């Protein structure tokens, strides 16, 4: 760890029964309150959190609390003992089922993504350290003008930067969660995120991800002819949109993201005309700021270009099942078939709704977004529509990133699963 002092700590309370865990909480509260009343500041939250790891070992965690100071911890314990709702308290609510890692794709990138995690967990910087040319793009100097901010956003939105950087961040967060004891049972990525998922599964060497991501981006951009095309997110049900698209020859459904959200792609003039049809039908839409019409026949040449890139790559058998956007089923197992699927993926629709439904049918219940933001967990929530599941984003743009991660870990633990808690204290004096 980079720093021994963290902005927040994760406290766990074990016991054979919930009552035993509450008794431990009451004892902890008494110690904290006594220290607080005496005005002593020698009690460090870090040390208290660590000492609780030894209490009632080998019994279930019944409560997890995230606190940033002593007063906050006392208030959270009071709420837990009273059975009151509190955003910092996570009581045990066991949930059977498999754990799914979701790797976000292009569109989730942003300047300074995962900055706090890269600071507090230096091992996450492994790939970035090996490719320092990307550091000024993801972590640029503080922008002082609107124009500078615009330039920084444009740099990280550039497909040639966005894909390698997203791959590094996706993989870094997934590896961090694995290091903390979270074991995935199945993997899925959205669009570009599928490549990161395959690397995490060992199909492709993780160290090759940045260069392979850039080659993938180049294949897409080289496939663009005179018209790069446009994309837009449409908010209506699939049946309605399919009916509207039936006579279109240059506008296609590209991403089936949620039951009432589909991204369309097409030639610029034709898509513009189609959007006027949506206006006439009172269907809302928003155009996407993208380099070209991804996952559409407009980029047909990208398939053969990326196939050439993959031709000499040595692929291994996946250590975990990776689900495919293209077929909404598990990836094939042979290297030749995997390469073919990866190339086809560039020009095929993303069938994310069907994919999530199939993963749920296969037992997926805990969906963890292993990358920046919460786009995918938000889509899964809409797809599952109230069915039993736990959705856990691990990174966000606002607030302290480490505290947000600790809340994610607390939510995971509350499902009845374990962590390697001692990993949170390694190198922290």
143 and 278 co-located in one domain: no
Q: Which of residues 359 and 57 earns the better pLDDT score? A: 359
- Say whether pLDDT at 401 is over 70: yes
Catalytic residue numbers? 191, 295
Instruction: State the chain's mean pLDDT as an integer.
Output: 95
Q: Are residues 128 and 209 in the same domain?
A: yes
Asked if pLDDT for residue 289 goes beyond 90, the answer is no
The predicted structure's pLDDT at residue 2: 42
44-93 confidence digits (pLDDT tens)? 899 999 999 999 999 999 999 999 999 999 999 999 999 999 999 999 99
| Spatial separation of the C-alpha atoms in residues 69 and 87, rounded to whole Å | 15
Residue 247 and residue 126 share a domain: no
- CATH number for the domain spanning 76: value is 3.30.70.3290
Residue after which a domain boundary falls, among 287, 305, 320: 287
Residue range 305-325: mean pLDDT, rounded: 96
What pLDDT is stored for residue 286 in this prediction?
96
Strands 89-91 and 61-67: antiparallel
Cα 61 from Cα 42, distance rounded (Å): 27
Tens of pLDDT along 236-256? 999 999 999 999 999 999 999
Please give the residue range of the domain that contains residue 237.
Answer: 230-287
- How many domains does one find in the chain? 3
pLDDT for position 318: 96
Assess whether pLDDT exceeds 70 at residue 3. Answer: no
In tens, the pLDDT along 172-212 reads 999 999 999 999 999 999 999 999 999 999 999 999 999 99
Share of the chain above pLDDT 70, in %: 98
pTM of the model: 0.96
Whole-angstrom distance, CA of residue 167 vs CA of residue 49: 33
Asked whether residue 301 falls in the same domain as residue 405, the answer is no
Same domain, yes or no: 349 and 268: no
The mean pLDDT of 356-385, rounded to a whole number, is: 98
User: Do 104 and 82 belong together in one domain?
Assistant: no
Q: What is the pLDDT of residues 13-52, one digit of tens each?
A: 999 999 999 999 999 999 888 876 666 556 889 999 999 9
| Stretch 139-147: mean pLDDT | 95
In CATH, what number is assigned to the domain containing residue 248? 3.30.70.250
262 and 323 co-located in one domain: no
């Amino acid at each position: 760890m980079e720093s021994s002092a963290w902005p927040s700590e994760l406290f766990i309370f074990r016991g054979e029964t919930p009552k035993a865990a509450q008794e431990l909480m009451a004892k902890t509260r008494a110690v904290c309150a006594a220290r607080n009343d005496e005005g002593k500041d020698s009690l460090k939250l870090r040390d208290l959190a660590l000492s609780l790891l030894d209490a009632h070992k080998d019994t279930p965690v019944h409560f997890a609390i995230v606190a940033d100071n002593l007063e906050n911890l006392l208030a959270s314990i009071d709420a837990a003992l009273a059975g009151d709702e509190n955003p910092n308290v996570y009581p045990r609510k066991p949930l059977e089922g498999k754990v799914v890692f979701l790797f976000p794709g292009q569109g989730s990138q942003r300047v300074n993504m995962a900055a706090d995690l890269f600071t507090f967990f230096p091992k996450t910087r492994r790939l970035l350290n090996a490719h320092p040319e990307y550091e000024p793009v993801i972590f640029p100097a503080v922008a002082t003008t609107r124009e500078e901010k615009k330039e920084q956003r444009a740099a990280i939105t550039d497909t040639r930067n966005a894909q390698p950087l997203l791959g590094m961040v996706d993989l870094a967060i997934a590896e961090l969660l694995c290091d903390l004891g979270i074991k995935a049972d199945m993997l899925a990525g959205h669009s570009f995120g599928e490549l990161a998922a395959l690397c995490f599964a060992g199909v492709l060497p993780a160290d090759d991800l940045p260069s392979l991501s850039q080659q993938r981006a180049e294949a897409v951009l080289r496939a663009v002819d005179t018209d790069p095309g446009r994309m837009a997110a449409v908010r209506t049900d699939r049946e309605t949109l399919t009916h509207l698209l039936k006579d279109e020859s240059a506008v296609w459904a590209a991403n089936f993201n949620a039951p009432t959200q589909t991204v369309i792609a097409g030639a610029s003039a034709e898509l513009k005309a189609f959007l006027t049809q949506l206006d006439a039908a009172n269907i809302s839409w928003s155009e996407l700021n993208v380099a070209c019409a991804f996952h559409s026949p407009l980029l047909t040449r990208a398939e053969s270009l990326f196939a050439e890139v993959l031709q000499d790559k040595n692929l291994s058998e996946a250590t975990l099942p990776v689900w495919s956007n293209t077929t909404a089923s598990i990836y094939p197992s042979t290297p030749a078939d995997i390469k073919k699927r990866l190339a086809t993926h560039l020009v095929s629709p993303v069938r994310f709704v069907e994919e999530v439904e199939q993963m749920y049918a296969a037992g997926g219940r805990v969906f963890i977004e292993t990358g920046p933001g919460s786009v995918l967990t938000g889509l899964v929530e809409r797809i599952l529509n109230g069915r039993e599941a736990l959705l856990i984003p691990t990174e966000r743009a606002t607030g302290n990133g480490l505290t947000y991660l600790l809340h994610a870990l607390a939510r995971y633990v509350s499902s009845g699963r374990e962590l390697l808690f001692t990993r949170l204290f390694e190198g922290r004096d």
